Structure 1
Amino acid sequence: MKAVVLAAGEGTRLRPLTADQPKAMVDVDGQPLLAHCLDRLADLGVEEFVIVVGYLAQDIVDAFGDAYRGIPITYTHQEEQLGLAHALLTTEAHVEDDFVLMLGDNVFDANLRTPVRRQREKRVDAAFLVEEVPREEASRYGVCATNQYGEIVEVVEKPDDPPSNLVMTGFYTFSPAIFDACRNVEPSDRGEYELSDAINRLMASGSTIDAVPLDGWRVDVGYPSDREEAERRLRESSSDLESRAEAGIDGSRR
């Protein structure tokens, strides 16, 4: 599969860390935030990165060039910050088949292979990695409702009164059908073309979306305190891998 990474954001909530650089270039444990995303995707064996850039785009292009870990990079540009569905549409000409989508402001150590396997089964049209969070935090995310089979039946974007505490983590697999759904959404009250609205349109057209529970951890780096939390978790994971290696236990990532 190809991997689409959305990295066009300014990161106003991360200031002063983003005073003179895009959110994707914020240092997290010694490397840019975007590099953590690309490393996890490279571990999955993706064949190409399609990175959406916007704010201070040239900083990202200069830093990553035309390949990362030997995997070619194609860049698309979101000229205006009009939402995730709008950003995703900029990649349509470069995606011909099922693909992985990752939001470029997340750090993962989790079961990313599971949604990819579900997508390849062709039983479903999409698969999302989801997690339960404290209800008071759910309003930061796209909140999911599921049926008895573990399939997503509704997504609500950043609701004031979340209907559940099950949220999307920013890691998805899709078929190209998502592009038609993105084209047909209207601007939300926030003035953005929401990915959640496109997902709801996709389901309304008959598509089946699996909810895959997170096994491991992820940090959505939205605030400076989130960056500190991501660094703490990365160091703990690194220490655990070293301990397992010394004990002769296979410490390879999921």
Structure 2
Amino acid sequence: MKAVVLAAGEGTRLRPLTEDKPKAMVEVDGKPILTHCFEHLVELGADELLVVVGYLKERIISHYGDEFEGVPITYSHQREALGLAHALLTVEEHIDDDFMLILGDNIFNANLADVVNRQQEDRADAAFLVEEVPWEEASRYGVCNTNDYGEIIEVIEKPEEPPTNLVMTGFYTFTPAIFHACHLVQPSNRDEYELSDAVNLLLQSGRTIDAIRMDGWRTDVGYPEDRDDAERRLREEREAREAAAEADDEEEEDADTELSVEADDA
């Protein structure tokens, strides 16, 4: 399965971190956000990375070249910042089957594989990783309405008064049908071609989109304090793993010592 990574953003709210680099190249825990995304996608089995670049695109292209951990990279240039649906259309010619889509400004430690597995079951036309957020934060995201079967029935982009607090997280799977919907999208009141509008067109045409509840966490790196939060979470998880490994080593040493004592007594 191919994977599309949207990494054309400038990241004005992240300044001064983005004064000399695109948003996706801001470092979190010692490596660019984009590297974190690539690592997840390679682990999920991506056989090609389609990276949409824009602002300071040469910083991304020169850093990664034409492959990442043996997986080929194809770059596509979004020449104007006209929204996510517009960005997605720049890779249409490269897609002829189901694919993954990740926004290149998110740090995940979550059940991304559940989304891919659901897509491969052929029971849905798309699957989204979704998350419940505090109500006061929901207006920052695409908000989802769902039915009793866990299927998405409507997406509302950054509503002033969110009807729910269930939001899209920035990881999706789609069939190529999404491209036809993107072509039909009209500019929003932000003068952008919104991915949420394309999703609603899919739904109106009778397509099924499953909502996969997030197990874990993610951080949308929109502000410098978000970067700090993601680094804290990653650091705490690394320290927890190291402590667990150290405890396992101590248990093995204690077990070896007991065996040695028993052998000497015998």
Q: Establish whether TM, by shorter chain, passes 0.5.
A: yes
Q: Aligned runs of 1:239-250 on 2, under 5 Å? A: 239-248=239-248
- What amino acid is aligned across from residue 93 of structure 2 in structure 1? A
SS across alignment from 1:46: coil
Which of 1 and 2 has greater Rg? Answer: 2
1:148 corresponds to which residue? 148
Q: Deviations over 1:132-161 (max 9, x none)?
A: 000100010000000000000000000111
Structure 1 or 2: larger helix share?
Answer: 2
Q: Structure 1: give runs of 5+ residues left out of the alignment.
A: 250-254
Q: CA deviation at 1:247?
A: 4.2
1:46 corresponds to which residue? 46
Q: How many residues align?
A: 249
1:252 corresponds to which residue? none
Q: CA deviation at 1:96?
A: 1.1
Q: Deviations over 1:196-225 (max 9, x none)?
A: 000000111111000000000000000000
Q: CA deviation at 1:242?
A: 2.1
- What amino acid is aligned across from residue 246 of structure 1 in structure 2? E
Q: Deviations over 1:70-115 (max 9, x none)?
A: 1100000000000000000000011110000000000000000001
Q: CA RMSD in A?
A: 1.0
Q: TM-score with structure 1 length normalisation?
A: 0.96
SS across alignment from 1:122: coil
Report the CA distance shift for 1:95/1:245 in structure 2 as closer, same or farther (over 3 A): farther
SS across alignment from 2:227: helix
SS across alignment from 2:231: helix
2:253 corresponds to which residue? none
Deviates more, 1:149-158 or 1:232-241: 232-241
Q: TM-score with structure 2 length normalisation?
A: 0.92
Q: CA deviation at 1:33?
A: 1.1
**1:184 partnered with 2:184:** yes
SS across alignment from 1:164: coil
1:220 corresponds to which residue? 220
1:209 corresponds to which residue? 209
Runs of 4+ in 1 over 4 A off after TM superposition: none
In 1, distance between residues paired with 2:78 and 2:66? 18
- What amino acid is aligned across from residue 53 of structure 2 in structure 1? V
Q: Aligned runs of 1:17-166 on 2, under 5 Å? A: 17-166=17-166
2:231 corresponds to which residue? 231
In 1, distance between residues paired with 2:165 and 2:132? 5
SS across alignment from 1:196: helix
In 2, distance between residues paired with 1:144 and 1:20? 35
In 2, distance between residues paired with 1:239 and 1:43? 22
Q: CA deviation at 1:117?
A: 0.4
- What amino acid is aligned across from residue 81 of structure 1 in structure 2? A
SS across alignment from 2:96: coil
Q: CA deviation at 1:244?
A: 3.2
2:167 corresponds to which residue? 167
In 1, distance between residues paired with 2:243 and 2:213? 27
In 2, distance between residues paired with 1:145 and 1:80? 30
Report the CA distance shift for 1:57/1:98 in structure 2 as closer, same or farther (over 3 A): same
